[in-house]
């Protein structure tokens, strides 16, 4: 037991967590794919409008027919052509906002129960980025300045719809919460463009709306709920009870923000109880520490190397797993715990950094090892001794319980 092989570095994170009601990733991807496939079906309309050719060196002039049949339009004025186009595009985007306000008011009610002016501004600001295929009439001189009309044909609207769907993220789980509103903006803009297409050109409008609804529901659920995930080691199933509802471990659970109590049941293991707090857009993950309900008790040599006395706490944690600590070095099974603390003075505070090595040996050979490095915590001269003792004991017990629940104890004790 004198020579130990250097430990493999593994960083354990201890968080209280819980499971998810459905697979959000699969549901969202299915909804997004459905929307993309549906809008791809709309590709059979008239060919995209193209500018009529003029003499070399002159600007192209758009056919009057395109303007007359345009689904969306906005007329602008300015001191020059660029200013007029910018004003025309602004009016075009405002007409889309009007569509959203009148056609998708029902979906807005699901968000705070009222229409959001912030959302209107978001559309107005971002529509120039989203809109594809906007065409302009040739500039005209009027008494109010240069006049230009911006417009979108049916094909341009359909092209924008397909583009909007393609910009939706592939995986909401990796999306930063700050970007949820941007994704919802994209979805609501798609709503407005669908309603801009005449019913005769879109007989299955309800089908496409329902598909967008599916995408919206997944995004809004992620934006308004938190998620929590309980994970067990391979081959172990567990049932999680939260607020009177039952969930399976190893699945994602959506919950509204708040404080929750949970109970974990798994055959062959002791019940586990706890609580957690979930905020909006939280993504919590936890590996469950399950303690066997019945296990043959075995004596194990225990050696704790630490300047802080935590051996009593460690011994209690081992007893939960049927391990009886012993000072007999000749036993075939052994556990060696090494705790190292480093103190750094910062102004009037002292920062304490704790590292822990845990080695298990079977018949003199290494069985499993791990190393844990805890994030620094601060102490004052008045609280230093008590705080370091309390935190070191708590961390040691957490690491040991997590480690022992992750290994096969029957394999460890097998002769």
3-class DSSP assignment, residue 225: coil
Full set of structural domains in the chain with CATH: 45-222 (3.10.28.20), 226-287 (2.60.40.1120), 298-413 (3.30.160.150)
pLDDT, tens only, 37-87? 777 766 544 333 333 333 444 444 445 667 888 888 899 999 999 999 989
| Number of alpha helices (DSSP H) and beta strands (DSSP E) in the chain | 11, 17
Query: Bigger pLDDT: 188 or 38?
Result: 188
Q: Is the pLDDT of residue 3 over 50?
A: no
Query: Bigger pLDDT: 94 or 315?
Result: 315
The predicted pLDDT at position 133 comes to: 83
Q: What is the dihedral of CA 21, 24, 26, 27, to 10 degrees?
A: 90
Which residue in 93, 210, 224 sits closest to 160, CA to CA? 93
Structure tokens at 296: 């043959």
Query: Is residue 3 packed enough to be buried (19+ CB in 10 Å), middle (13-18) or exposed (0-12)?
Result: exposed
CB-CB contact of 144 with 128 (8 Å): no
**Average pLDDT of the segment spanning 175-182:** 74
Query: pTM of this prediction?
Result: 0.52
**Average pLDDT of the segment spanning 135-143:** 92
How would you label 347-365 residue by residue, b for 16+ Cβ within 10 Å and e otherwise?
eeebebebebbbbbbbeee
The predicted pLDDT at position 263 comes to: 94
Confidence of residue 129 (pLDDT cuts 50, 70, 90): low
C-alpha distances (whole Å) from 181 to each of 113, 171, 315 are 16, 15, 51
The predicted pLDDT at position 18 comes to: 31
Confidence of residue 382 (pLDDT cuts 50, 70, 90): confident
Query: Is residue 266 packed enough to be buried (19+ CB in 10 Å), middle (13-18) or exposed (0-12)?
Result: buried
Distance CA 9, CA 31 (A): 40
Which residue in 257, 301, 259, 300 sits closest to 281, CA to CA? 257
HSE-CB of 100 using CA atoms within 13 angstroms: 26
Structure tokens at 408: 């096969």
Q: What is the mean pLDDT of the chain?
A: 79
CB-CB contact of 323 with 310 (8 Å): no
HSE-CB of 312 using CA atoms within 13 angstroms: 4
Q: Which residue has the tokens 């529901």?
A: 217
**Average pLDDT of the segment spanning 28-35:** 76
Confidence of residue 98 (pLDDT cuts 50, 70, 90): low
pLDDT, tens only, 224-275? 788 899 998 888 899 999 988 999 999 888 888 899 999 999 998 889 998 9
Distance CA 203, CA 182 (A): 29
Q: Is the dihedral of CA 34, 37, 41, 42 positive or negative?
A: positive
């Amino acid at each position: 037991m004198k020579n130990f092989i250097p430990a493999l570095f593994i960083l354990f994170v201890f968080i209280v967590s819980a499971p998810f009601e459905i697979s959000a990733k699969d549901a969202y991807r299915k909804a997004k794919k459905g929307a993309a496939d549906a809008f791809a079906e709309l590709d059979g309309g008239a060919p995209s409008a193209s500018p009529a050719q003029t003499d070399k060196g002159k600007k192209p002039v758009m056919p009057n027919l395109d303007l007359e049949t345009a689904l969306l339009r906005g007329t602008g004025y300015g001191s020059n052509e660029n200013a007029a186009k910018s004003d025309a595009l602004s009016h075009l985007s405002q007409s889309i906002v009007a569509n959203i306000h009148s056609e998708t008011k029902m979906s807005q009610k699901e968000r705070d129960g009222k229409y959001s002016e912030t959302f209107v501004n978001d559309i107005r600001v971002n529509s120039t980025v989203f809109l594809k295929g906007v065409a302009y009439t040739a500039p005209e001189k009027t008494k109010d300045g240069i006049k230009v009309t911006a417009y979108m044909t049916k094909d341009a609207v359909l092209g924008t719809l397909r583009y909007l769907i393609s910009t939706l993220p592939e995986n909401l789980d990796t999306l930063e919460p700050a970007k949820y509103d941007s994704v919802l903006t994209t979805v609501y803009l798609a709503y407005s463009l669908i309603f801009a297409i005449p019913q005769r050109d879109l007989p299955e409008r309800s089908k496409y709306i329902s598909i967008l609804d599916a995408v919206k529901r997944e995004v809004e659920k992620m934006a308004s709920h938190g998620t929590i995930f309980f994970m067990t080691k391979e081959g172990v199933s567990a049932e999680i009870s939260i607020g009177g509802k039952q969930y399976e471990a190893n699945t994602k659970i959506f919950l509204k923000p708040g404080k929750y109590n949970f109970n974990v049941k798994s055959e062959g293991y002791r019940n586990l109880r706890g609580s957690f707090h979930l905020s909006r857009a939280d993504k919590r993950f936890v590996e469950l520490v399950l303690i066997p309900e019945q296990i043959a008790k075995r004596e194990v040599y225990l050696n704790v190397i630490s300047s802080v006395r935590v051996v009593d706490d460690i011994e209690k944690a081992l007893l939960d797993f049927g391990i009886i600590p012993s000072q007999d070095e000749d036993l075939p099974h052994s556990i060696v715990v090494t705790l190292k603390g480093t103190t750094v003075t910062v102004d009037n505070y002292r920062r304490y950094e704790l590292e822990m090595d845990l080695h298990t040996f079977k018949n003199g050979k290494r069985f499993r090892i791990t190393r844990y490095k805890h994030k620094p915590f601060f102490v004052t001269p008045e609280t230093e001794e008590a705080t370091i003792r309390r935190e070191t004991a708590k961390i040691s017990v957490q690491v040991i319980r997590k480690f022992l629940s992750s290994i096969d104890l029957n394999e460890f004790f097998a002769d």
